[in-house]
Structure 1
Amino acid sequence: MSNVVRRNTQSTRLPKAYAYFCLYFGLLALALICLAWSPFALIFQALLPEQRARSIGRRGITQSFRLFLWILSGLGACRFDLSELDQLRDAGPMILAPNHPSLLDAVMVISRLPNIACIMKAELMGNLFLGAGARAAGYIPNKSPRAMIKAACRELGQGGQLLLFPEGTRTVRPPINPLVPATGAIARLAKVPIQTIIIETDSPFLAKGWPLFRCPDMPLHYRVRLGKRFDPPGDTQAMAATLEHYFANTLAEESPLG
């Protein structure tokens, strides 16, 4: 069984023409939101002390993503259940380790948690839509593993939380890809727990290989719930195997969505 847990039934689907409108309007809205935030992110990063700029930058991204999800919900295109994430807001430094079925995963998590440093693809740091905001927020590029781990440990040591997808990319072999050892390595060095996060959806929309402008059946349903929390490991390879086993078993269970 994959992360896709239940298909929309014909009786509840949006008309296809309206679904296409939701798709293109949603993409346009996200682009405009990101572009609107970018000048402010650049100004804050240039004029404010680093820690202050990062705090404002992260809250700006949280509010931007929250607005985007609100628009999708208002259109009736998506239904989100993200409330369990609120329990982590004041939970202290830890690694947040979700499974990764779609491109919306980081958006959903960040929309609820305003003190996150996100590890992201290095090429996105120069992206027109995402780059300025990501740099102002102090997000961490994955270009150099050693520099990435060092920056992640520094962030956790300062009391922040780290969003890291332990698969390293979106899921291509359901229910979970083989996990990379970076999650356990950072947790061991920083001496912080790993909080697993289970992301469930009823659609393969924006999964690996899904074309950006391919319209899915709507509405889409997403639920994000908290999984098991693991103590800092002593053996990073063993931790990767433990996490992979946990995700595989949990995602194979009957989903609360269905």
Structure 2
Amino acid sequence: MSLAQKINTLWRQIATVIAFSCFGIGGALLGLLFPVLNQLTPTAQRQTRARQIIHRIFSYFMRWMRFLGILHWQIEGQERLGRPGQLIIANHPSLLDVVFIMAQIDAPNCVVKGSLWRNPCVAGPVAAAGFIPNDSNEHMIQASVAALAQGDCLIVFPEGTRSTPGQSLQLHRGAATIAIKGAAVLTPVVITISPSTLTKQEKWYKIPPRRFVMTLRVLDDIDPSAYRRSRSDPIAARCLNRDLIDLYTQELNRG
């Protein structure tokens, strides 16, 4: 490794520690700020305002990480994200996927891990935004269908946790059930990272050998009503989930 490469690696290591430390501290400070903002915002607008703030902060965070030389990104089809009643599903290869996709959409709703409500760094923002916990499958589906009915753009990661490199993709049927029961349109998004980093098996401070590139591709819309015809909801959800697994497997193998 040349001297220039060693300096670059050291800088990216330092920059990564700074970036993620600021992310955690910023989340905790937001938790203290949102109660104050709630007093200044009409009740009906509080969740939307919180989601808009989170979207902007995530957008600034991604740009800052790019400025620091940690990452770069490419996006195809961003203009088709953020429609009312749209269910967006995405694969989950890295720790930054939620931040990356929410940075592209103004005021999105999202299904997130229930454990985040117990995380002091993010519990405040998650609660203020009214995001949907995945602790209970039945409650998650009911809350998601209700969110879509009121015009939210909802993001779901059907894997439920980060992908395991080298293993076949597994999608929980909950996202397909939500699509069948309440989505006006279903939009699959494929996220890839090169070189692989921030996976479930890697600590956040274990940086890759070079600046990594995150790619977000918005695939063609899927009409959930096509699966509802002549099928019960459970059967339609199983068929849709099977087709989604095939679709993602094909798209990820292309890379």
Same fold (TM over 0.5): yes
1:157 to 130, 138, 149: 149
Q: Distance in 1 between matches of 2:170 and 2:99?
A: 23
- Which residue number corresponds to residue 128 of structure 1? 120
The aligned amino acid for 1:206 is L
* 8 Å Cα contact 2:184/2:223 also seen in 1: yes
The 3 A distance-change label for structure 1 pair 162 and 177 is same
Letter of the aligned partner of 2:115 in structure 1? Answer: E
Structure-2 separation of matches of 1:20 and 1:48: 40
TM-aligned CA deviation for residue 151 of structure 1: 0.8
1:224 to 202, 216, 220: 216
Q: Is the 8 A contact 2:27 2:124 kept in 1?
A: no
2:80 aligned with 1:79: no
2:60 counterpart letter in structure 1: L
Extract structure 1 runs of 4+ deviating beyond 6 A.
11-14
Pick closer, same or farther for the CA change 1:22–1:44 going to 2, 3 Å: same
Name the structure with the higher helix share.
2
Counterpart secondary structure, 2:162: coil
Partner residue in 2 for 1:105: 97
SS of 2:172 mapped into structure 1: coil
Kept in 2, the 8 Å contact 1:184–1:240? The answer is yes
Q: Distance in 2 between matches of 1:102 and 1:81?
A: 16
Establish whether residue 214 from structure 1 lines up as the match of residue 206 from structure 2.
yes
The alpha carbon displacement at 1:185 in A equals 0.6
Q: State the shift of 1:217 in Å.
A: 2.1
Residues 32 and 188 from structure 1, CA distance in 2 versus in 1: closer, same or farther, beyond 3 angstroms? same
Aligned counterparts of 1:53 and 1:242: Cα–Cα separation in 2: 37
- Could you say if the C-alpha distance between residues 176 and 130 of structure 1 is closer, same or farther in structure 2, counting changes exceeding 3 Å? farther
| TM-aligned CA deviation for residue 49 of structure 1 | 4.2
CA contact (8 A) 1:184 1:236 kept: yes
In structure 2, the CA distance between the partners of 1:138 and 1:46, relative to structure 1 (3 Å rule), is farther
2:134 corresponding residue in structure 1 = 142
Three-state SS of the structure 2 residue aligned to 1:95 is strand
1:29 corresponds in structure 2 to 22
Map 1:27-66 → 2, pairs under 5 A: 27-45=20-38, 48-66=41-59
Contact 1:42–1:133 under 8 Å retained in 2: no
The AA in structure 2 aligned to 1:182 is G
Counterpart residue identity of residue 76, structure 1 = G
1:145 Cα deviation from its structure 2 partner? 1.1
The answer as to 2:81 corresponding to 1:88 is yes
Unaligned stretches of 5+ in structure 2? 229-235
Residue identity matched to 1:239: L
Instruction: Give the RMSD, CA atoms, in angstroms.
Output: 2.1
Match of 2:250 in 1: 249
User: RCO (CA 8 Å, sep 6+): is it higher in 1 or 2?
Assistant: 1
What secondary structure does 1:115 align onto?
Answer: coil
Cα displacement string for residues 191-219 of structure 1 (whole angstroms, at most 9, x for unaligned residues): 42210001111022111111122222231
Q: Which amino acid aligns with 1:32?
A: I
Q: How many residues align?
A: 244
Change in CA separation of 1:97 and 1:190 when aligned onto 2, cut-off 3 Å: same
The alpha carbon displacement at 1:175 in A equals 6.7
Deviates more, 1:101-110 or 1:120-129: 120-129
Q: Find the residue that maps to 1:76 and give its secondary structure.
A: coil
CA 96–175 in structure 1, closer or farther in 2 if over 3 Å, else same: farther
Against the structure 1 CA distance between its residues 31 and 231, is the aligned structure 2 distance closer, same or farther, given a 3 Å change threshold? same
What's the counterpart of residue 19 of structure 1?
12
**Post-superposition offset of 1:75:** 0.7
